[in-house]
Copies of this chain bind each other. A is one copy, B any other.
């Protein structure tokens, strides 16, 4: 009999895991259930769709038909999995279209239920001009509202990276943008200096950043539209509201089946993406992931780790022996004209993890300074005095900050020391890089601080 692999969740990790399972065992019967209308789309591209930079056809990688044809995966949309019954190796699936529920048998199950947007839990939050940015449906709803009602004033609640990208997108479309944030500076988790620079960039681009703003409620008119956002220190007019308060793991069905989760609510797996329950694997935003820098299990909902974990879950569910060791956490975000990047852990996390933290900051030219188009890159390094290891870095620049951060990411992942980095032999050519690349300048400066 054919091995039956079921996958719950069709956004990113689900289709990846399902496709990998078919590739690993072409005889397996692989079926995927997704509660929404669409599968396999680019969440990370949504802000660029909203801004008008990419069109909607570009967002969807696979329709169910194409996934079947190209990858051999049977995907059923508008099917919500309500229950996992490990003792019977069954799941209960609710068909949203006909309202019927039925049981489906599995040999192996892959949970890829993703995350859900964090909400405020205040009155007016479900008004029709309040949107999260977590699904294709959200994106289409935002676009439809923008086109039909032509909002002029946008209020974004939450200053994380989606908040930054949405601020950029809505300014790009010509809206007035106000960004309400609970903390003094945007982008919690990044270094203070980075966050200050991001705030400046927001203000330079006429985004009105309101610090220490706790959103307490929304004033809603008779057309079910928010007109004002009420905060701890005043109310702000709004024609459209974007909630970008982060996400939480969607693990309730898994938890109800006895699958273990961490303190974040994210599912815990081993390096083979196996949960504590036999025959059940998990991958993606519904999981915690090992942070290789401080060896802690953390909730790090990023597409990069989701896709790698999904391949491993798919391969192993189909009988393979792959491993996914974890991440260092690499986050890049475009804030108007800047590339803003974090790799590894922050100085605060490093201190909390028991490292003897040494930080250094440098600013250097991204190419030979006299060449046309040269711009400056700012780098903050976070190192451990005892071992000399690089633990993390923040980078900001107009060009090349992300790709330079990726080189530092490799150093962090392989636990290289600042001394080793100083010996790096990197390419040099005036139109592309200076003789001493900014990352070497950062290594040299950090070295001096480590052993003065």
Contact: A429 with B332, CB < 8 Å?
Answer: yes
In contact, B425 and A413 (Cβ under 8 angstroms): yes
Q: How many residues of A contact B (CB 8 A)?
A: 63
CB–CB A44/B431 < 8 A: no
Of all chain B residues, the one with the shortest Cβ separation from A395 is B427
A418-452 vs B: 1/0 string, CB under 8 Å?
00100111111111110111010000000000000
Q: Mark A388-414, 1 if CB is under 8 A from B, else 0.
A: 000000000000101111110111011
Q: Are the CB atoms of A44 and B430 closer together than 8 Å?
A: yes
A372 within 8 A of B: yes
Q: Select which of B368, B411, B425 is within 8 A of A329 by beta carbon.
A: B425
> Is A68 interfacial (CB 8 A cutoff)?
no
A88 and B308 CA atoms in complex are apart in Å by 65
Shortest CB-to-CB span from A300 to chain B, Å, is 9
Q: Do the beta carbons of B428 and A302 come within 8 Å of each other?
A: yes
Cα A308 to Cα B425 in complex, Å, equals 9
CB-based contact A304/B53 at 8 Å: no
Q: Is A196's beta carbon under 8 Å from chain B? A: no
A216-224, A276-284, A333-341: which lies at the interface: A333-341
A-B contact pairs, 7 of them (CB 8 A): A48-B371, A53-B371, A53-B372, A292-B425, A328-B425, A334-B429, A402-B427
Interface residues of A (CB under 8 A from B): 42, 44-45, 48, 53-55, 58, 292, 302-305, 307-308, 324-334, 339, 341, 343, 368-372, 400, 402-407, 409-411, 413-414, 416, 420, 423-433, 435-437, 439
